[in-house]
Amino acid sequence: MCQDGCVHMGEYESTFVESNHLTRSQEVIKFMRFLFFDASAGVVQIGVYTFLYTVVGITVWAGSYLPALIASVLWSFTANRKFTFKSVSNVPVAMMKVTMYYLIFTPVSLWWGTELTKGSWGISKGAQSFIVLIGTMVINFVTEFMVYRFWVYRRSINTSASGVREQEKYELTVSESVAS
């Protein structure tokens, strides 16, 4: 830490891994925040998908899904970086890691979404498309959390100013409970 209290990325990132561990309650809170922000990203994704599918008339599943996915990823990345993981990690590096995840997830989800919406399930084409979209979003949520938590921000959780304050608060709480 520098004299005026600022934190340099590499300096704090390495000491975080060595000395700071998240408590179970911190992990639960981070998961709940991630759930909240990914749910809001889901609203973005469903909104964009619905607009493209119903208003613009792009009824090919991939044509409505891909722009909706991109919009939700941008929102999710920004919100979770700032509010969930409270990271000051190198944004281009973090975004590149997220891009690498989506270079795998996107073609696979486009493939299964296209295949699952080809035939009829005995319900309307629109309902079938939305069911596939919601299922895909659930799979995306679970895998995205693991990617963010254990790869993208693994070494930089709580490195922003608010994250450092949070970490210090939990360390104080843990040391007080151990002392009593």
CB 34 within 8 A of CB 80: yes
**Residue 6 above 60 pLDDT?**
no
Confidence (pLDDT) at 46: 94
Question: What does the block give as tokens for 141?
Answer: 């949520």
Angle between helices 91-118 and 125-147 (to 10 degrees): 150
Question: What does the block give as tokens for 7?
Answer: 């934190």
Question: What does the block give as tokens for 97?
Answer: 């890691």
**Residue 75 above 90 pLDDT?**
yes
- For the chain, percent of residues with pLDDT exceeding 90: 67
Looking at residue 165, its amino acid is R
pLDDT tens-digit series, residues 163-177 = 889 888 887 776 666
Confidence (pLDDT) at 20: 60
**Residue 162 above 70 pLDDT?**
yes
Confidence (pLDDT) at 35: 96
pTM of the shown model = 0.78
**Residue 145 above 90 pLDDT?**
yes
C-alpha span between 10 and 49 (Å, rounded): 40
Long-range contacts of 166-172 (CB under 8 A, 24+ apart): 166/26, 166/86, 167/16, 167/20, 170/22, 170/23, 170/25, 170/26, 171/20
Confidence (pLDDT) at 156: 92
Confidence (pLDDT) at 175: 67
- Average pLDDT score over the chain: 87
Confidence (pLDDT) at 102: 96
Q: How far is CA 145 from the centre of its chain?
A: 6
pLDDT band at 63 (very low <50, low <70, confident <90, very high): very high
C-alpha span between 44 and 50 (Å, rounded): 10
**Residue 28 above 50 pLDDT?**
yes
C-alpha span between 77 and 90 (Å, rounded): 13
- For the chain, percent of residues with pLDDT exceeding 70: 86
C-alpha span between 141 and 7 (Å, rounded): 31
C-alpha span between 164 and 13 (Å, rounded): 11
Sign, Cα dihedral of 165, 167, 169, 171: negative
Which of 8-12, 114-118, 121-125, 132-136 has the lowest average pLDDT?
8-12
Mean pLDDT confidence for 64-74: 95
Domain range annotation of the chain? 32-162
